[in-house]
Structure 1
Amino acid sequence: MSNQVISADPFSKIWNFFTSVKLTIVLLLSLAITSIIGTLIPQNEDPQAYFEAFGGVLYQLFNLLDLFDMYHSWWFQLLIVLLTANIIVCSIDRISSNRRILFVRNPSFRLPRFRNLKHRQEFTNAHTPQQLKDIFQAFIARRFRHSQVEATENGFAIYGEKGRWTRFGVYTVHLSVVLLLIGGLIGSIFGFDGFVNIAEGESVNQIRLRNKPQMVQLDFAIRCDDFDVSFYDTGAPKEFRSSLTVLEQGRPVLNKDIIVNDPLRYKGISFYQASYGNLPSNEAVLSFTNNNTGKVYKNKATMNQPMQLPENLGTFEIKNFLQSSEFRGHNIGEAYIGVLTPPGGDPVQITLPLRFPTFDKMRKGNLVIAVVEHVPRFYTGLQVGKDPGVWVVYSGFILMIIGCYITFFMSHQQICLEIVAAGQKSRVIVAGTANKNKTGMETKVDRLTEKLTQMV
């Protein structure tokens, strides 16, 4: 008879591949190494910063390998999927091999096993074995989930068992790790991280992804009603606060003031206070002094809206607001740029710096203009994030705590009370075993023996 080479079942090959401990070690080492790389290489920075730090060649290579956003890269997600499959298959394989221990309705007990235990307690009593059996059987039945009585050559053996389900503690930990990995994978695939700047009084419904030329369209709008910033004596920002309103089809549905680490959350999207900045003010209160009559007028001027001046002095219009302006090579700071048009004359450009109210006097015109009140206009910078897997991750953490408690502090316990006749008396031998915490089980046997002696 010729020898035939029978190829293994492809499913068995795949199954054996995922039950391999070597695969687990390789995947864990790969994730550890890539996490170190993700720590050494700052993630989601500006491309120009990467180019300056690594040069053109390394920048192209790292960008090709997605090392600048590795936690969203296809290969990192593949490692997560493989590790998840590895844990699931290993757990199923282990449960299958231990099913006779884990899935038992009527547990069996072997008396020789308890007789061979090193730690046992004994005591004698004047009652007969039958009398002690009736007393102790009810006691064991109350304290253990399963109890059983067996007749022996010289008396009886009473067995008790509880906590068989605690053997699933390690698999609960496995499941928690799977949930953590799946939650991270969901966030990596379906989540996003972006930012948006919103001027006071304006609303937006698009988010720009961080370091990507893409916009995310929201099915609602977010409006900045107000922004406020306070400063320390040194001039450093102390607190900045944004009053935000969520709009659904133009109608407000939610309002919240946010500060750093206290975001607004809506439909799974979080808006964090991240930064702020100045914008050109739309309005300013100006004073107009007529040098001929000495009269002073105050009027509110709006950007790009000409205003008629009293006493037939012409018109004035604010054209621009500069955060930094210069005069003869000197920086004079923030300033409005306006145009004064006298009656029948040519328009004159006028600079109105905020720090120098009398600056326009140097023009030596019939009309002196100054800024009386300037209300800064801000925009709020929001970091926007969506992570739909966060609740899966939270569930994984909770399940891990439960699984660790079961694994380390609970055990599968079996107890045996052997009652044998000893002349006119009875001898009771108490022994017990547990799959974990042998010392704790010995203490439990001692306490149980003490209670049994007190009962009779």
Structure 2
Amino acid sequence: MQIRTTWLYKKFSSIKTSILFLGILSFFYLLGTIFPQGGDINEYINAGGRFIFLVKIFGLLDAFTTPWFLITSLLLLISLSICSYERLLTLMGKQILDTAPTKSYIIPLNTGENIDNTFIKKLNFKKSYSNPSATVVTRGISYKWLTLIYHLGILLCFTGFFLTYMSAFEDEVIIYPDETKAIQPSSQSRLQRLLGKKHKELPFKIKLEEFITEYNQMPSIDYPKDKLSRLAVGLGWTSNSLNYKIKDDSLFPKDWKSRLRVIKDDALILEKTIEVNEPLKYGGFTFYQAAFKQDIKIEMDGGPLAIDAEVGKETIIPGLEGEIVFKNLRTGTLFKRDGTTEKIIPFVDVYIFKKISDGKTDKEKIGRLEKGSLLTIGSKTFGIKGFSEATILSYRYDPGVPILWFGGIMTLIAMALRIYSPWYRVIYRVDVKDGRTLLKLSINTKGLLADKEHLIKRIQHFVLLSKNP
């Protein structure tokens, strides 16, 4: 028994089955927008997440890697492949063409009129078939080829999805200015985990030539102190113009950039300054500006030794009760509201965290420590001895992306042409009846822009006679 005659094959060759699987996948996509994908279950619980039991049982934080999603995707691929195959057999197979005009248009002709010349040379048709009983001519992009092309595009998209799922991985690397870093990925793709292999060191290195931070002044509205006046301002009931004030620490990050160099075999291959949404691409890898890391060296009481601290992290300093946190290190270029720029004198906000009763922590801002000045905390004096900023690059390898782009664009263009592009097939023959020469023809069209009536008028125009239905 041939497989195409089995019940299962017929079910999978039905477009209804494909729509059913697509609907199930749409449900997964909906779950993916509700539950944070790739998140940790404990963090989800601590954040007050709901439906904990269902999240754990069905793995809703990784909905797109669950067996249910993968099995449904595979079944959809099988169904679409079978549907495409059956459609391809229909399109490419030899069809019996009834060349006898059905719904005919009858147009009187001059006796010497060369109708073949009218269709081919004047109306830009191509002759596809001819016999003594009728002639078939076509014009436009063949809908068969367009259908074949967009099915091929869909197949390429699925190929790209599969490559992305099996081979893609991403990781991070921290690079300091003037450092040339060899990239050794620590994460693995699914294919590597399946084969038990690890990544080798990449055949090129990344050097950070310069890390650039930029800030804007962030003004705030200077509201009146009187409550009724503040209400009037909020409701727009006052004609007085609003006043703005700029605090010393009102700096808002404008941009951070990394001037990178790609080094291979001690030779410069590529140099580019990247920023958020402006990545560097090389060797199949894409490097994104993800974040930055700040470190600070603090001198205490003028001593020769420096205390190394990471900005934003707790630091224990001998002789002080509690933990010191240096936050919001600001350095780089300031873009002022008047359009001018200036270099920021590096400064950092200093906080102290002390444990109080019941395990709670009390946070207190001590002040601002600026380079070139000192700050006293308790009996000790602190100053900034130095600082550094490192770029944090997120890089990704995804061989499926080019295929997805190509397949997606191919599919969209082919489907748009298939829907809108005009295609005509005209079957005609010349008869002589009662001493009159008549053109009998029928017209078949595809595409929303096809205009059968306009074509009839064009034919009438070229044979120089009016239509006689």
TM-score between both structures, scaled by the size of structure 2: 0.67
User: Could you give the per-residue CA deviations for residues 346-369 of structure 1, whole angstroms, max 9, x where no partner exists?
Assistant: xxxxxx9546835579979xxxx9
Q: Which of 384, 398, 408 is equivalent to 1:387?
A: 398
Could you say which residue in structure 2 is the equivalent of 1:195? 172
* C-alpha distance in structure 1 between counterparts of 2:129 and 2:349, whole Å: 93
Identity over aligned residues, as a percent?
A: 20
For residue 119 of structure 2, what is the aligned residue in structure 1? Answer: 140
Counterpart secondary structure, 2:305: strand
In structure 1, the residue corresponding to 2:37 is in which secondary structure? coil
DSSP-derived class of the 1:381 partner: strand
Larger radius of gyration: 1
| 8 Å CA contact retained: 1:276, 1:381 | yes
Indicate the residue corresponding to 1:83 in structure 2.
Answer: 76
CA contact (8 A) 2:109 2:463 kept: no
Q: How far 1:22 sits from its partner (Å)?
A: 4.0
Q: Which structure 2 residues correspond to residues 31-430 of structure 1 after superposition, within 5 A? A: 31-53=25-47, 58=52, 62=55, 65-100=58-93, 103=94, 108-111=97-100, 113-114=101-102, 116-117=103-104, 120-125=105-110, 127=111, 131-132=112-113, 135-142=114-121, 143-146=124-127, 158-162=135-139, 165-202=142-179, 203-207=181-185, 209=187, 217-219=200-202, 220-234=204-218, 235-248=251-264, 252-281=268-297, 316-321=304-309, 323=311, 333=326, 354=370, 357-359=373-375, 371=383, 374-408=385-419, 409-423=421-435, 425-430=436-441
226-235 vs 49-58, greater mean Cα deviation: 49-58
Alpha-carbon distance change, 76 to 54 in structure 1, aligned in 2, over 3 angstroms: farther
Structure 1 residue 251 displacement after superposition: 5.2
Residue 335 to residue 40, structure 1, CA distance change in 2 (3 Å): closer
Deviation larger for 262-271 or 187-196? 187-196
Name the CA distance, whole Å, in 2 between partners of 1:441 and 1:206: 64
1:452 to 431, 441, 463: 463
Supply the distance in 2 between the matched residues of 1:226 and 1:48 (Cα, whole angstroms): 38
Structure 2 portions without partners, runs of 5+: 219-250, 327-347, 351-367
Name the structure with the higher helix share. 1
Note closer, same or farther for the CA distance 1:39–1:90 as it changes in structure 2 (3 Å cut).
Answer: same
SS of equivalent residue, structure 1 residue 110: coil
What is the deviation of 1:179? Answer: 1.9
Distance across 2 between alignment mates of 1:435 and 1:141: 19
Give the distance between the partners of 2:206 and 2:56, measured in 1 at CA.
33
Q: Partners in 2 of 1:178 and 1:263 — Cα distance?
A: 29
Aligned pair in 2 of structure 1 residues 241, 426: CA closer, same or farther (>3 Å)? same
1:429 CA drift (Å) = 4.1
Supply the distance in 2 between the matched residues of 1:401 and 1:237 (Cα, whole angstroms): 39
Name the counterpart of 2:357. none
Shift, 1:50, TM fit: 1.8
Aligned residues: 378
State the match for 1:291 in structure 2: none
* Cα gap change, 1:257 to 1:355, in 2 (>3 Å): closer
| Offset from partner CA, 1:22-61 (integer Å, 9 cap, x none) | 42122111110000011101112344422324679937x6
The structure-2 alpha-carbon separation of the partners of 1:137 and 1:251, relative to structure 1 and needing over 3 Å to count, comes to closer
Aligned partners of 1:33 and 1:221: how far apart in 2?
A: 43
- Please give the secondary structure, in 2, of the residue aligned with 1:236: strand
Q: Is the 8 A contact 1:166 1:410 kept in 2?
A: no
Question: Is contact 1:276-1:378 (8 Å) kept?
Answer: yes
- The answer to whether the Cα contact below 8 Å between 1:196 and 1:381 also exists between their aligned partners in 2 is yes
Q: Is the 8 A contact 2:138 2:423 kept in 1?
A: no
- Structure 1 residue runs of 5 or longer lacking an equivalent are 1-7, 289-314, 337-351
> For the Cα contact (< 8 Å) 1:194–1:384, is it kept in 2?
yes
d(CA) in 2 for partners of 1:274, 1:361: 34
Q: 1:250 to 1:73 in 2, by over 3 A?
A: farther
